[in-house]
Amino acid sequence: MKTIMLCLNQLGIGGIETAVLQQTIQLIKRKYRVLILAEDGIYRRKFEKEGAIFLNFEHTVQNNYDMDKINKVMKIIEEYKVEQVHIHQFYCIAAVFPACILKRVPYIAWLHLGIKNVYDWFEKCFPCYKVMFSIYFHNATKIIAISESAKQENIEKYNVDEKKYIVKKNSIDFSAFKVEGNSIPQKIERFLIIGRFAKEKEKSIKNAILLFKEFHKESQNAILTIVGDGELKENIENEIHDIKDIVEILGPRNDIPQIISKHDIVIALDRCILEAITMKKLAIISGYDTLKELVTQSNIEKASNENFGGENLNENTIEELIKQLQSLSKDEIKNIVEQNYKFAYENLNIEKNVYILEEMDYKCIQIDIDNTIESIIKLQNMYDEQIHYTDKIYSECKEAEKWYQDQIKIRDEQIEELRNEKEKIEEKIKKSYFDKVYNIYKKMRYKGQ
C-alpha cells in the first residue's frame, strides 16, 4: 500500500482542514495509506474515523531551520515509507520540505490563499522566509493553487515555471453532506453565520450581523445562529448584545452539515459557501471588507473561480441584499438552490478533483542539490548574521545602559556635593545673619542704657 503524508498546522476547525479531510476520504477510498502530520485538534477524531493515521507534530515558524524537527520528519518518512508529501500550510514548511529534499521524496505545495500579501507578512516577521519560500516553491514537484489569482501571485513573486502549476478549485464530498431531514428552504427566516473570530474575518462577520439586524426589522420571525470561535469572541458578542434574545452562538463545531440543514440561508466566506450550496441552502458571500452577492446561477461560476471569497464579485449594500431576499418567491428560492447544487455537483465534486502524483511525476523530480544547499547555507548565514547583529546591538545597549547608569551615579554624587555645599553656605549665611542681628541688638541695648 502506497503512503501519502498530508501536512497541516493544526487539526482545528477551518476551511483548509475541512478540504484536507475531504481529500483524505478520497485517498483512502483509492487504497492509499494516509498520514496526517499536524498538531492535535478537534478534527482529529474525524480523520481517524476515516482511517487516517494521525501523527501529533508541533509545527513552528521561526527564523532558521530546526534540525531536530527536520530529523523527526525524516524518521517518519523512513518508518512509514512515505512516497509523496502534500504540504497544505506555510507553518509546515520549515520542518517538512527540507526533510523531503534530504530524503528525495516529492512534495506538492498547496496554495489555499484567500488573502493577498500573506507572503509579505511571513517575510517581514521572519526574514529567513525570503530565501525559504523561493527554495520551497522551486523544488516542489507540483504547486496546486485553488484559484487563478493565487497562482498568478505566486508566479509573479517567485518566478517559478508556470508548467509546474495546477489550478484546482476547492471541491467537496457530496456524500458527506447528505443529512436526514434536510430540505430546500420554503422561506427565509433562519440565518446562519459561519466564520473564525479572527482579525482577518472580523469585518466579514460584523457585516453579516448588520445584514441580519436590518432584515429582522422587516421580518420579526427571523433568528440567527453563529458558528465559530477565536480571539475576537468578545468583539462578536458585543456586536449582538442588542439582539441576543434571537441569536445563538454555538462556538466551534465539527457537525456543520447538521447545523446547515436546520437553516435557510448562510452568510459566510470561502468553503462555507460551497457547503451551503451542497446542502441546497441560499448563500450570501459576506466578503472580507464589504458584502458581496447572493450566489445564483448567474454568478456561481465566477464566484467559484476565487473560492467563494468574493474578491471578483460586485459589492452590495445591506439594503440591496434585503430587497433581493424579500422579493424571492418559494419557486425562485427552489430554482436558485437547485441550479447552484447542479453546478457544484458537476464542477466541484471532490471525486473528480483529487490530485495524486503519478510514477511519471516521480521521474521528473529535478532537485538542484548544489543550489539548494547553497541557498540553505545562505539562509543559515542570514540567521547567523542576524544573531551576530542582535548580540552586537544587545552588547551596545548594555554598554549604553552602563554608561547611563554611571552618568546617573556621577550626577547624583555631584548633586549630593552641591547639596552639602549649599547647606554649608546656608549655615554660614545664617550664622553671619544672626551675628549681625546680635551685634545690632547689643548696640541698641547699650545706647538705651
pLDDT in tens, 205-233: 999 999 999 999 999 999 999 998 889 99
| Same domain, yes or no: 325 and 182 | yes
CB atoms within 10 A of CB 127: 16
| Same domain, yes or no: 312 and 198 | yes
C-alpha cell at 3: 503512503
Cα dihedral 329, 330, 335, 340, rounded to 10, equals 100
CA 300 – CA 308 distance, rounded (Å): 8
Per-residue pLDDT of 318-334, as tens digits, reads 999 999 999 999 999 99
CB atoms within 10 A of CB 14: 23
**Domain end: 348, 378, 404, which one?**
348
| Same domain, yes or no: 204 and 274 | yes
Please choose, from the candidates 306, 239, 226, the residue with its C-alpha nearest in 3D space to the C-alpha of residue 266: 226
Mean pLDDT of 186-198: 94
Cα dihedral 59, 65, 70, 72, rounded to 10, equals -60
C-alpha cell at 178: 447528505
Beta bridge partner(s), residue 268: 285
Per-residue pLDDT of 95-121, as tens digits, reads 999 999 889 999 999 998 766 778 988
Does the structure show a pLDDT above 80 at 402? no
CA 341 – CA 195 distance, rounded (Å): 22
| Same domain, yes or no: 146 and 207 | no
- Write down the pLDDT at residue 338: 97
Does the structure show a pLDDT above 90 at 3? yes
**Domain end: 317, 348, 379, which one?**
348
**Is 444 a domain residue?**
no
Cα dihedral 39, 44, 50, 56, rounded to 10, equals 30
- Residue labelled with grid coordinates 418559494: 330
**Is 441 a domain residue?**
no
**Is 292 a domain residue?**
yes
Q: State which H helix or E strand residue 44 sits in.
A: helix 44-49
| Same domain, yes or no: 137 and 201 | no
CA 321 – CA 331 distance, rounded (Å): 18
In a 13 Å sphere around the CA of 190, the CA atoms on its Cβ side amount to: 11
How many domains are contained in the chain? 3
**Is 448 a domain residue?**
no
Range of the domain at 360: 3-171+353-366
**Is 436 a domain residue?**
no
Note the helical H segments in 12-92: 15-29, 44-49, 67-80
**Domain end: 348, 381, 397, which one?**
348
CATH value at residue 307: 3.40.50.2000
| Same domain, yes or no: 297 and 401 | no
| Same domain, yes or no: 229 and 332 | yes
- Write down the pLDDT at residue 414: 75
| Same domain, yes or no: 383 and 414 | yes
**Is 336 a domain residue?**
yes
pTM, to two decimals: 0.73
| Same domain, yes or no: 248 and 281 | yes
| Same domain, yes or no: 310 and 228 | yes
Per-residue pLDDT of 408-431, as tens digits, reads 777 777 777 777 777 777 676 666
| Same domain, yes or no: 307 and 329 | yes
Secondary structure class of 53 (helix, strand, coil): strand
- Write down the pLDDT at residue 446: 55
**Is 338 a domain residue?**
yes
| Same domain, yes or no: 343 and 359 | no
CB atoms within 10 A of CB 284: 26
**Is 439 a domain residue?**
no
**Which range among 296-310, 387-401, 405-419 shows the weakest confidence by mean pLDDT?**
387-401
Please choose, from the candidates 211, 7, 19, 29, the residue with its C-alpha nearest in 3D space to the C-alpha of residue 98: 7
DSSP code at position 47: H
DSSP code at position 114: -
